[in-house]
A = this chain, B = another copy of it.
């Protein structure tokens, strides 16, 4: 059997407003473009529209920066209120240098500026925050789509993250529902009876990166369908992808 996947961008999704039901919007848009959702699909939803639907947008004029935020802002040539929002989204600062703040968010994600982002957010002083609980967001979208259509699928919430040592960002999974986020080969031998070097694959991250190839950054294609990938059903969300900082060599 030839393993094959299809990756389909969903076009025609309007600007999302607080309170919008993403499940409805996605089901409708997929239908309208002639690619209705099917059982076994993986739906990859980019973070920005999830944050917008959940009202995770703040007006920087409403934020009172702390003395530390003011100091950091001056050192890094940023807006003090923007730095304040980053600090409020963080539980730990991992690196601070060269105008970049790498922090661990309250979800355990390590990234630049705690995922706080001004791009593609309407309103001159607005920035978007990551969803409060992206696994819960994914479960919500999954549930809405199941109720509307009866199809049984999986949902990933994706965002673009930089990496140490490599230029350029790639999309990874910050939230997931309905599938095992990792594929675990531990205890499996190769064709020669030797243990595999790489034993756990971050499938959900690879799926998020795959979707980025059709969603891109500018076109209004914030959602993609991945069809044909045989995932394992699971309900742990993205927990299996988060490494405890105590176990990390770069914390």
Contacts and interface: CB of A to CB of B under 8 A. Distances in A.
Interface of A: 1-9, 11, 33-35, 95, 97-98, 100, 102, 104, 109-110, 113, 117-122, 160, 162-172, 181-182, 185, 188, 190-192, 194-198, 200-203, 205-207, 209-210, 212-214, 216-221, 229, 240-243, 245, 248-251
A177 to B, nearest CB: 18
A213 B210 contact: yes
Contacts of A229: 213
Contact of A170 (B5, B120, B206, B240): B206
B6 A4 contact: yes
Contacts of A191: 120, 218, 220
B206 A243 contact: no
A4 to B, nearest CB: 5
A212 B182 CA distance: 13
A201 B170 contact: yes
Which of A182, A217, A251 has the most chain B CB atoms inside 10 A of its CB? Answer: A217
26 contacts: A2-B9, A3-B214, A4-B214, A6-B6, A98-B249, A109-B165, A119-B194, A120-B196, A121-B192, A160-B201, A164-B243, A165-B251, A166-B205, A167-B243, A168-B205, A168-B240, A169-B201, A170-B201, A170-B205, A170-B206, A188-B217, A190-B217, A191-B218, A206-B213, A210-B213, A213-B229
